[in-house]
Chains A and B, each alone.
Chain A
Amino acid sequence: QLQLQESGPGLVKPSETLSLTCTVSGGSISSSNYYWGWIRQPPGKGLEWIGNIYFAGSTYYSPSLKSRVTISVDTSKNQFSLRLTSVTAADTAVYYCARLHYYDSSTYLYYFDQWGQGTLVTVSS
């Protein structure tokens, strides 16, 4: 059974860089039918898509975060990572990693079918 687990600091200072890693177990990150994504949810607010990465390295980012976000993948470790620079209190949120099922049986799909448990990251001095 596929599992995703986020890891990283729970507290980041303003203006610094938020770094999280998602470890995938029970399946390969190099599966051709999937992208891997990051989504966040600020306290009391809705879900916000951050970006996706394919195992081969192609990336897609939210236009509102694109200037500050980098998503990378390490297939040897079955992990993908998020870096968000110059954080402010507005970046305080629960951060989820998830698998995006984008293609199957000659059909494009584009939905998140597996999620990590989420990790709360607080931006505060």
Chain B
Amino acid sequence: SALTQPASVSGSPGQSITISCTGSSSDINDYYYVSWYQHRPGKVPKVVIYDVSNRPSGVSDRFSGSTSGNTASLTISGLQAEDEADYYCSSYTSTSILVFGGGTRLTVL
């Protein structure tokens, strides 16, 4: 994958966690419109962040997004059991190609 995510992260209820999404250094300037998806087992993927830091209506304000250099990040604060899921970053490139990160399994301890 052209977007690299950690395979897994974990945290206890109430804590904050951050999931990183790193583009390859040779073409990071080609990545735009980063979005993040939550995918619970047996459910349909759901967007939690779009355009780097925007939350769709209905998504908890515990979810936030940011970028720094060649890395985008998803932060979940006040961790809850229901946040346990796989999270994927995605980006749309200047060549009209869309890529997903490899996914990060979030475990709530």
Contact = CB atoms under 8 A, between A and B. Distances in A.
Given A47-B37, A47-B39, A110-B33, A62 B47 contact: no
B103 A112 contact: no
Nearest to A117: B44
Instruction: Report whether over half of chain B's contact residues are helix, strand or loop; otherwise say mixed.
Output: strand
B102 to A, nearest CB: 5
A76 to B, nearest CB: 26
Interface residues of B, number: 25
Contact of A62 (B32, B45, B50, B97): B97
B25 interface: no
B100 to A, nearest CB: 5
Interface of B: 1, 32-33, 35, 37, 39, 44-47, 50-51, 56, 86, 88, 90, 92, 96-103
Complex A-B, nearest 3 residue pairs according to Cβ-Cβ distance, in ascending order: A110-B92, A111-B35, A46-B103
